Amino acid sequence: MEVEKLLIAAEASRSGKWSREFEEAQKLADKVSRRHFGIGEKETRYVDDDRLSRIENDWLGGSWDPCFQLYEFENLPAPWAPWSKLGWDVKGSDGRQLRALELFWRQLVAVGYGLAGRYPDEDDGDLTESEKEAIAAKLAADRDRFKPSR
């Protein structure tokens, strides 16, 4: 997996998570996640304000993010164990957890427990162009009929 290779290279570099390889791995993981699960890491967060730190965003999200953090905490030291219940093998050939899980785990939790996204083999429910146009026309007609009260 390309994401795993990039993370290994990032781990080997002196910069670690601040390396070019880690940044590339994040971008590739987001692209893969969106293609296969219909969501990226950003969509697994309750609040995602670019002006705030990750900690501030998580704090504003109330109980949403602590649920994800609790899930991670409760499943240590064998984080791959619950994934097998969902039919996913997240271990490398050496039996250790894949590094890439760090970039995919939130999406896997969201999809696996029905919070957001979809399984790769599920229909993503995309609308056809004619369906999109019909919805846009109806919304425009509703907008034009709307008369604000004074």
pLDDT over threshold 60, residue 81: no
Q: Tens digit of pLDDT for each residue in 20-68?
A: 999 999 999 999 998 888 888 888 876 667 787 767 766 776 666 666 6
pTM of the model: 0.62
Amino acid 47: pLDDT:
67
Q: What is the pLDDT of residue 150?
A: 55
Cis peptide before 148 (omega within 30 of 0): no
Residue 126 lies in a domain: yes
Q: Is the pLDDT of residue 76 over 60?
A: no
pLDDT in tens, 120-131: 766 656 667 787
Does residue 59 fall inside a structural domain? yes
**Mutual angle of helices 2-12 and 101-112, in 10-degree steps:** 140
Q: First vs last Cα of the chain: how many Å apart?
A: 60
Q: How many CA atoms lie within 13 A of 62 on its CB side?
A: 1
16 assigned to some structural domain: no
pLDDT for res 30: 92
* Partners of residue 97 on adjacent β-strands: 91
| Residue 7 falls inside a structural domain | no
Provide the residue range defining the domain that includes 43: 39-145
What is the tally of structural domains in the chain? 1
